Amino acid sequence: MSSEPLDSERARELGRRSGQARRRLTLEDAERDLGDLDTLEDAMRWLRQIALWAAGGLLHGAVASACNRSVEVWVRAHESRLTREVVDQLRGRLTELEGQLGRAGAGRIPGDPL
């Protein structure tokens, strides 16, 4: 027990600390603080916030691990979607180039060197 007198300012500070220690993370808090998860930057922000909540005692370690895992799965799915878009673009470009080569080679005699 502290031997310093309890004035109103000290009582207010102790009350604030006590409230913070008992604070619980609500779904509304999480939705507001995390925001959207649409970009890789969003994913990084989520991971940072989850780490801060866990370090601050607002999120149990097992819950933080599950949240981190969810973000990791989202990142992999996002990367897969981006890869699929690039592959589709490359396929389209390849088809276009093959068509141009076919039209350019239509006047050639088979077996003639280029």
User: In this predicted model, which residue has the larger pLDDT, 28 or 20?
Assistant: 28
Q: Find the domain containing 53 and state its range.
A: 38-103
Rounded average pLDDT over 65-84: 97
The answer to whether position 48 is within a domain reads yes
CA atoms of 80 and 110, how far apart (whole Å) = 42
> Is the Cα dihedral 19, 24, 30, 31 positive or negative?
negative
* pLDDT digit string, tens, across residues 33-60: 999 999 999 999 999 999 999 999 999 9
The answer to whether position 23 is within a domain reads no
Prediction pTM value: 0.63
- DSSP structure class, residue 109: P
CA atoms of 38 and 107, how far apart (whole Å) = 50
Q: Where are the alpha helices (DSSP H) in 23-112?
A: 27-34, 40-55, 61-105
Q: Are 58 and 25 in contact (CB under 8 A)?
A: yes
The answer to whether position 6 is within a domain reads no
Rounded average pLDDT over 1-14: 72
The answer to whether position 47 is within a domain reads yes
* Mean pLDDT, the chain, integer: 87
Q: How many domains does the chain have?
A: 1
The answer to whether position 56 is within a domain reads yes
The answer to whether position 83 is within a domain reads yes
